[in-house]
Every structure is written in structure tokens, then in C-alpha cells.
């Protein structure tokens, strides 16, 4: 059995407890990369890592624009037919964060500076990163430097940086060098540890961004407006970025702007006097495109800056607060009785806001826009981990993510063809819709990505009641994914059972197996949901049904064949252990020798050849247990418990996708302490850097998993499409937990305590809730009281 992490072992983060902020009280000198991630700001479209504006020193500085990527031919040392051929890597875009400060020519270098005061704050309600230092310069004079950074959650293309410098002791020449820097290493993503760590992004050794635009519209009072534009050499994507300053302050000033291909600098030299504050606001904008020229994007940048200036920084900041007020009113989860957990929960929810606010026509990358980790690729993380949160708090955003998958359906149809299959096969990892996984046993073989997309559709439609999306987009995805399953699987020669072979389930510590329980259960769901939806459509919307038939060539026989396959679907079950084997052969594998595995040999993937891992009973992450979660309404609790009890001791949790799921199912089967332990592992995964790689970006799926752990785990919520139900089981250390949901347009507040929960209507139509005595509709001032699950 693997060494179990207990609640006591989980390192809490080292930041002061505050319910609405993450605060750093001294400069980080040891793990800059970690705080660059934890304090990053973004809006799902643009993201800025939290390298200090004032400082030269950074671990992995970078600004990212969701989906802005370069392609490259994947070269295999030994290739085979239909291997993925197009690598896709998100690029760091030119960095506008840099605003170096000097006093009388002495540069402020945080790492070496004599600081009287230091505080950096990420505020979850203001949506801003503020840094405040009082610096004693080598000449002995104190200077207060306050910098503020915001990526607008309202305005997709806008970021605002503000620098306030106050001389506290005497007059001096204040210098500010404000830059826009295209780092020559292209993807701007470097790390020295783990040379072979497959979770890292690859690097280019060529110029990737070809300069196309270099504009400077001078302005005496501000240094003018600067725009740099580029084209990606291979992908052809274009980018333009601009900045413009506003200066408030006394004293004579010189401003000089120099613009090169890869560096634009506006140098301010200001005669500062003690007590007065010099304030420089830098409006920054990024526009990217797959279609239009960098020149045209440069024009769009100009428009954005005009709009931002006319709004003014104060108003932009107010809008940010307003947006977040709205966010928290739908999405907050109050933890009563555990302030550190409250803070950590809010940090995770804030990450979800920053990952999804403005994704618009893109997906959510594994690290959102907090780094180039995992090459900026979209995985099933979005559908399984992030989308449920959105479905119940921000259905518009959920809908957009599903439409994004709809737009990539053609590429998925093509990919299925390459794999000799009918229907559609979504890529395991992608930006542009093409499969980018260069290791098929843990990539393309994860056919279950299809079911993840479909599961997200079901959750979204159940939560929102948006049948229009189902009829005019979702249905086509359902048809094409069901087709793939029906074609991929086959009937055993006895004709009675339907099998799916040669696939990899969620657990990447076995690969290319037969009848993976998770995959078969999810495929079964996918087939049935597709069949049900087509039938429903034929009855409720004949026109949409006919259109679907035309577009997909669907026949009635086909729908029957899906139901037949679903009915005949083989789900492995072992009579002796009374559990679901992870796959047809899993129980026959040799047990992993956990006793003989040193603690520094985790994660196993960095210390053992895949062949060694694959042939043992050892899991990277929840697999059958994941199925117990996603199909929880369809599995008896006793079976869930037996499965959990079998797999939990052999699940390493080497994947960050595991802890939250283990937590939910542990709660479901009554292992309440373990549920809390796994929840804490999930909650502090990034904040305490328990996986050691938060420097490579926020684990966004895990942040979604924190929400899922609260709502599906501790509140025990399930959704049958027309009603919600709750089986509350609050962790013993908490007094209560309160959260809000949107359900079919109804806003509802749920408060969970140790004896049950209250369901309170807030706005919208009445809410059907399942109780032991049948469905009750909650509305008006009525509060529905439900008992606890233990």
C-alpha cells in the first residue's frame, strides 16, 4: 500500500490568512517561479505571470494569449502511420510588465534592495495585483514604489499597469524604463529542473515571431503609443500589442521612446520632490488572429487603447470590481470555521474566474494563461473539471466552451478517419483542433476524451436547460462521437457483449488496455445519450432533426445500433472481489511494491520506464473511482465503496487530477476523514506547491476540482436534469458551508451544516429539489431543510 498522506502532512501555504487576498510580506528569493504563478493575473484570454515589474530578476517571466501558438512538425525517431504530425506550442507574447525604476540613476533591484517595507497582494474582489515597497536607496533615501497590475475581466484585450513612486525623504531624479519586450527564446518558457519531464513545454531554437509591424505615434506628454506586430513563422497566426502611458505628477520631465523589432522602451526621467507621488499608468493591449494581418490587429490595438483611455483607469478598476462582485455573487463558497480553507477556496475560485472570464472562442488550457506549461494545450481538463463549475455558476461561459468543441468537430471527424474509424475522435491535446499528442499510448489512445466532451454537454444542458444548444450543436457532437464508439467497439463472438479494446483510460499508469471500465461506462453513456437525444429531437423539433440527418447522414438503424451497443456494453466485474476491474486484465497484474519504492521515486513516471509501470497494479490517478464519480447516480453506493477501497491504496495521485476525485468519492462512500484529506491535497495543491511544479502554472483542472469537491463531495449534489438533490456531509472541522448555484435560470443558495442543509431560493423560477418525500419546489421565502448523509 502506498504511503498515505494524512491531513497533518499537507503543507499549508506560508502566506498570511486573509479571506479575500493572497498576500506576500517579504520578497521571495527561493522560489520565484511559484509566486509568479500564484500571483498571476489574467482573464482567460490574456494572462500575465507575476514577475515584478520593477525587477530584472524572474524565474519564468511571461505573458500569454490563449491559443496564440506556433506549429512545428513533430519528428519521431521511429514514426508510424497516422501519428500526430503537427506540434502546437503556445508562445509567450511580448512582455509589457516591465517598468524598471531608478532613483538618481540607482536601479531598484528587489532581490538586492534594502527594503523597509514589502507587501504584494492579489485581491480576489478587486482583481488586481498590488505591490508596495519602501526602498532605502544606496544613498540612504527612502522611496515608496507601488505598482498595480490588472488584466481586465470585462475588456478581453486590455491590461493596465500602474506605477506610483513617492520620494519620502528628498528630491531626486526618478527614472522609469517602461518596456515591451519580445524575448528571443520564442516561447519564453524555460526551466532547468527535470530535463525530461514530459509535462514541460518544448522549446524552439529559431525565431518564431516574425516582426511585421513597428509603430510609434509620438506624443510629447506621454511618450506616445507604441505597437509591435508579428506573424508566427509556421502557424501564420498574427499578433499585435500596444502600450500607451498616462503620467500624473509634478516636476520637469523628459520622455523618450525608442522602438525596435523586439523591444520598445519609453524612458521617463522626472525631477521628483519629496512627498508628492508620480503616477504612471500603462495601458496595454494584445490582439491575436488566425486570419487577419498584424497591420489590422495593430489598428484594433489602437481602438482598444482609445477606449481604455476614454474610460480612464479608475473606471476600468471599478468595472473590474463590478465584474468580480457578480462573479462572487454566483460562485462564492463560504467556509465558516476554517479561515485558511476559506482563503484557499477563494484563491482557487478566483483562478477559475481568471481562466474562464474571457475565453470566448477558445478552450481553457491546462494552465489557462498562467504559463506555457503543457504547451498551452486543451485537454479533457476543461470538460471534466472546469465546465461543471461554469455550468452551475456561469452558463454562458460553459456554453462558449462547448461551442468551441463544436467548431473543432470537423478536425475530429478527420482524425477519426486517420484512425480508420467512423464518426469523430477529439484530440487528446490540441490548440488548433488537430491531435498534438506525440505519445499515443497516453494520448490518442485516450478515446475517452470523446465522452468527456459529451459528459460536459449533458451537465451543461442539465444545469442550464439550454435545449437549443442541444438541438443545434450538441446533437451533432453526440451523433459523431456515438458513431466512433459503435465503430471502435465490437461484439464478442458470442454476440452478447460489446467490447472496446486497445484504449487508455484516465489512469496513465496503464496504457492500451482492453475494456477499460471507465471508458466502457462513459461510452455506454455517450451512446445512450446520443440515441435519446436523436429520438427526442425527432419528436420535439422535426426540423432540427431533419437538419441533423442531412448534415450527419444519420439513419434510424444507426440509433438502434447505439442502443444495442450500450445495452451489450461489457463492464468488467470481478465476482470474487465484487469490484470493477480497471480493465479486463488489471486484477491479473503484479501488485506494485510500494514498500520498496523510495519516497523520492514519486512521481513514478519520472523514475520508472513505462513498461515497468504499465505491468503493475498501480494508478497515477482515479480511473474506476472517476467513473464512480461521473456516473454516481447509476452505481450502488456499496459498489462505489468497494471500488474506492480497492483502488485508493494503489493510487499514487501522481496526477494533479486525482485528489479532488478521490475526495468526492470518499465523501460519497462515507470515508469522511479521507475525503477531507484528499480535499486538502486538492485545495493546497498549488498554494503549497505539493506537486512541485506550480512554477509551471496553475493546475486549473484541480481548481475546478476544489469546487467539485465542495459541491459534489461535501454537499453531495446530484442533478437529474429536472431537479437537484443534496446529500450533505460537511467535514468535521467546519461549522458550515454556503454556496450559490444557477439552475435553469434560478439562483439558489445552499447552506450545509453538520445536521443537513438549507436550500434557499434567491431569484428566478422555483427550484425542484429531491427530498426523501419526493420533489419539492423551492421558491419565494421558503427554505427547504434536508438531513445530512451521515
* Contact in structure between 15 and 22 (CB atoms under 8 Å): yes
The size of the interface with a copy of itself (CB under 8 A), counted in residues, is 48
Element containing residue 48 per DSSP (H, E): strand 46-48
Check binding of 584 to a copy of itself (CB under 8 A): yes
Cell readout for 361 is 472562442
- For a copy of itself, the binding residue among 467, 606, 650, 762 (CB under 8 A) is 606
* Contact region with a copy of itself (CB under 8 A), list: 26-34, 178-186, 412-420, 684-692: 412-420
Q: Per rule CB under 8 A, is residue 514 in the interface with a copy of itself?
A: yes
Q: Are 537 and 548 in contact (CB under 8 A)?
A: yes
Identify the DSSP state of 420: T
With contacts defined by CB under 8 A, name the span among 180-188, 316-324, 432-440, 746-754 that binds a copy of itself. Answer: 432-440
Contacts of residue 193, defined as CB under 8 A and 6 or more positions apart, other chains included, come to none
Q: Does 71 bind a copy of itself (CB under 8 A)?
A: no
> Is residue 495 within the footprint of a copy of itself (CB under 8 A)?
no
Contact pattern from residue 82 through residue 101 relative to a copy of itself, giving x for each residue in contact according to CB under 8 A and a dash for the rest: xx---x--------------
Q: Tell me how far, at minimum, the Cβ of 640 lies from a copy of itself, in Å.
A: 24
Distance (Å, rounded) from C-alpha 646 to C-alpha 654?
18
Handedness of CA 770, 775, 778, 783 (dihedral sign): negative
Element (H, E) at 64: strand 63-73
CB of residue 439 vs a copy of itself: minimum separation in angstroms?
A: 4
The CA distance from 774 to 549, in Å, is 39
x/- mask, a copy of itself, residues 318-357, rule CB under 8 A, reads ----------------------------------------
- The residues in 437-456 that bind a copy of itself, with binding defined as CB under 8 A, are 437-441, 443-445
Query: First vs last Cα of the chain: how many Å apart?
Result: 28
Is residue 539 part of the contact set for a copy of itself (CB under 8 A)?
no
Least gap, CB of 490 to a copy of itself (angstroms): 4
Stretch that binds a copy of itself, among 99-107, 229-237, 532-540, 607-615 (CB under 8 A): 607-615
User: Radius of gyration of the chain from Cα atoms?
Assistant: 27
Any idea which residues carry the catalytic annotation?
508
Residue 77 sits in the site that holds a copy of itself (CB under 8 A):
yes
H/E segment holding residue 769: strand 767-771
Under the binding rule (CB under 8 A), the answer on residue 111 touching a copy of itself is: no
Shortest distance, position 523 Cβ to a copy of itself, whole Å: 14
Looking at the Cβ atoms of 332 and 418, the one nearer to a copy of itself is 418
Binder of a copy of itself out of 146, 234, 501, 672 (CB under 8 A): 501
Distance CA 159, CA 156 (A): 9
Contacts of 550 (CB under 8 A, 6+ apart): none
Distance of closest approach, residue 692 Cβ to a copy of itself, in angstroms: 16
Query: Which of 74-82, 385-393, 655-663, 689-697 is the region at the interface with a copy of itself (rule: CB under 8 A)?
Result: 74-82
Which CA distances in Å does 583 have to 2, 517, 564, 601, 767? 21, 6, 21, 26, 40
- The residue range among 173-181, 318-326, 510-518, 738-746 that interacts with a copy of itself, by the rule CB under 8 A, is 510-518
Residue of 217, 183, 188 whose CA lies nearest to 301: 217
Q: Where are the beta strands (DSSP E) in 81-202?
A: 86-93, 99-103, 106-107, 114-123, 128-136, 142-151, 158-167, 172-181
Beta strands in 673-755 (DSSP E): 718-719, 724-725, 736-743, 746-752
Question: Binder to a copy of itself among 107, 610, 764, 768 (CB under 8 A)?
Answer: 610
Instruction: Pick between residue 50 and residue 605 the one whose CB is nearest to a copy of itself.
Output: 605
Q: Which residues bind a copy of itself (CB under 8 A)?
A: 74-83, 87, 196, 198, 202, 418-420, 437-441, 443-445, 490, 492, 499, 501-502, 511-512, 514, 584-585, 588-590, 605-612, 614-615
Amino acid at each position: 500500500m502506498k504511503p498515505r498522506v494524512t491531513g497533518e502532512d499537507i503543507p499549508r501555504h506560508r502566506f498570511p490568512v486573509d479571506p479575500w487576498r493572497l498576500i506576500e510580506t517579504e520578497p521571495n528569493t527561493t522560489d520565484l517561479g511559484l509566486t509568479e504563478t500564484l500571483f498571476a493575473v489574467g482573464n482567460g484570454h490574456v494572462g500575465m505571470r507575476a514577475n515584478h515589474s520593477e525587477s530584472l530578476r524572474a524565474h519564468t517571466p511571461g505573458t500569454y494569449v490563449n491559443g496564440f501558438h506556433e506549429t512545428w512538425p513533430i519528428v519521431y525517431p521511429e514514426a508510424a502511420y497516422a501519428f500526430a504530425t503537427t506540434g502546437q506550442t503556445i508562445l509567450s507574447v511580448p512582455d509589457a510588465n516591465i517598468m524598471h525604476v531608478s532613483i538618481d540613476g540607482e536601479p531598484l533591484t528587489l532581490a538586492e534592495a534594502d527594503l523597509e517595507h514589502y507587501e504584494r497582494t492579489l485581491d480576489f474582489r478587486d482583481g488586481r495585483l498590488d505591490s508596495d515597497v519602501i526602498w532605502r536607496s544606496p544613498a540612504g533615501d527612502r522611496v515608496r514604489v507601488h505598482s498595480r497590475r490588472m488584466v481586465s475581466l470585462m475588456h478581453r484585450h486590455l491590461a493596465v499597469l500602474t506605477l506610483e513612486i513617492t520620494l519620502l525623504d528628498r528630491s531626486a531624479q526618478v527614472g522609469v524604463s517602461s518596456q515591451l519586450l519580445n524575448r528571443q527564446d520564442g516561447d519564453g518558457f524555460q526551466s532547468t529542473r527535470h530535463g525530461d519531464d514530459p509535462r514541460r513545454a518544448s522549446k524552439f531554437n529559431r525565431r518564431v515571431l516574425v516582426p511585421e509591424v513597428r509603430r510609434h505615434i509620438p506624443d510629447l506628454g506621454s511618450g506616445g503609443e507604441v505597437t509591435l506586430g508579428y506573424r508566427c513563422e509556421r502557424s501564420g497566426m498574427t499578433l499585435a500589442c500596444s502600450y500607451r502611458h498616462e503620467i500624473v505628477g509634478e516636476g520637469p520631465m523628459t520622455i523618450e521612446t525608442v522602438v525596435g523589432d523586439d523591444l520598445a522602451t519609453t524612458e521617463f526621467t522626472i525631477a521628483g520632490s519629496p512627498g508628492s507621488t508620480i503616477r504612471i499608468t500603462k495601458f496595454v493591449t494584445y490582439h491575436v488572429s488566425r486570419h487577419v494581418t498584424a497591420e489590422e490587429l495593430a489598428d484594433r490595438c489602437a481602438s482598444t487603447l482609445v477606449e481604455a483611455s476614454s474610460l480612464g483607469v479608475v473606471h476600468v478598476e471599478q468595472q473590474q470590481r463590478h465584474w468580480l462582485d457578480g462573479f462572487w455573487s454566483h460562485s462564492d463558497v463560504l467556509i465558516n470555521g476554517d479561515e485558511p480553507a476559506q482563503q484557499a477556496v477563494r484563491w482557487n475560485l478566483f483562478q477559475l474566474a481568471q481562466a474562464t472570464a474571457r475565453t470566448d472562442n477558445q478552450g481553457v488550457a491546462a494552465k489557462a494563461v498562467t504559463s506555457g506549461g503543457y504547451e498551452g494545450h486543451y485537454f479533457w481538463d476543461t470538460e471534466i473539471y472546469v465546465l461543471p463549475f461554469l455550468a452551475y455558476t456561469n452558463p454562458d461561459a460553459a456554453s462558449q466552451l462547448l461551442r468551441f468543441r463544436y467548431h473543432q468537430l470537423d478536425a475530429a471527424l478527420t482524425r477519426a478517419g486517420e484512425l480508420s474509424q467512423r464518426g469523430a475522435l477529439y484530440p487528446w491535446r490540441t490548440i488548433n483542433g488537430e491531435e498534438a499528442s506525440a505519445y499515443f499510448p497516453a494520448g490518442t489512445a485516450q478515446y475517452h476524451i470523446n465522452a468527456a466532451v459529451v459528459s460536459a454537454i449533458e451537465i451543461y444542458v442539465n444545469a442550464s436547460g439550454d435545449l437549443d444548444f442541444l438541438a443545434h450543436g450538441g446533437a451533432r457532437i453526440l451523433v459523431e462521437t456515438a458513431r466512433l464508439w459503435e465503430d471502435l467497439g465490437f461484439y464478442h463472438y458470442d454476440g452478447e457483449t460489446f467490447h472496446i479494446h486497445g484504449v487508455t483510460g484516465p489512469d496513465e499508469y496503464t496504457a492500451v488496455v482492453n475494456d477499460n471500465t471507465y471508458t466502457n461506462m462513459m461510452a455506454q453513456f455517450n451512446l445512450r445519450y446520443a440515441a435519446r437525444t436523436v429520438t427526442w429531437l425527432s419528436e420535439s423539433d422535426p426540423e432540427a432533426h431533419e437538419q441533423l440527418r442531412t448534415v450527419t447522414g444519420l439513419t434510424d438503424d444507426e440509433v438502434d445500433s447505439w442502443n444495442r451497443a450500450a445495452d451489450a456494453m461489457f463492464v468488467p466485474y470481478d465476482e470474487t472481489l465484487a469490484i470493477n476491474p480497471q480493465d479486463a486484465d488489471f486484477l491479473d497484474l503484479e501488485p506494485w511494491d510500494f514498500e520498496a519504492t523510495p519516497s523520492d521515486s514519486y512521481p513514478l513516471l519520472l523514475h520508472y520506464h513505462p513498461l515497468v509501470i504499465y505491468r503493475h497494479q498501480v494508478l497515477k490517478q482515479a480511473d474506476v473511482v472517476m467513473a464512480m464519480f461521473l456516473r454516481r447516480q447509476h452505481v450502488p453506493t456499496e459498489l462505489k465503496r468497494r471500488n474506492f477501497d480497492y483502488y485508493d491504496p494503489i493510487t499514487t495521485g501522481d496526477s494533479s487530477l486525482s485528489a479532488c476525485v478521490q475526495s468526492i468519492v470518499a465523501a460519497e462512500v462515507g470515508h469522511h476523514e479521507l475525503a477531507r484529506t484528499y480535499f486538502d491535497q486538492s485545495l493546497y495543491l498549488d498554494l503549497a506547491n505539493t506537486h512541485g511544479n506550480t512554477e509551471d502554472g496553475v493546475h486549473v483542472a484541480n481548481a475546478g476540482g476544489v469546487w467539485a469537491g465542495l459541491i459534489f463531495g461535501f454537499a453531495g449534489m446530484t442533478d437529474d436534469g429536472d431537479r437537484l438533490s443534496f446529500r450533505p456531509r460537511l467535514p468535521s472541522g467546519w461549522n458550515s458551508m454556503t454556496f450559490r448555484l444557477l439552475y435553469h435560470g434560478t439562483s439558489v443558495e445552499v447552506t450545509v451544516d453538520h445536521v443537513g442543509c438549507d436550500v434557499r431560493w434567491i431569484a428566478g423560477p422555483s427550484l425542484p429539489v429531491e427530498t426523501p418525500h419526493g420533489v419539492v419546489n423551492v421558491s419565494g421565502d421558503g427554505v427547504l431543510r434536508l438531513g445530512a448523509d451521515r
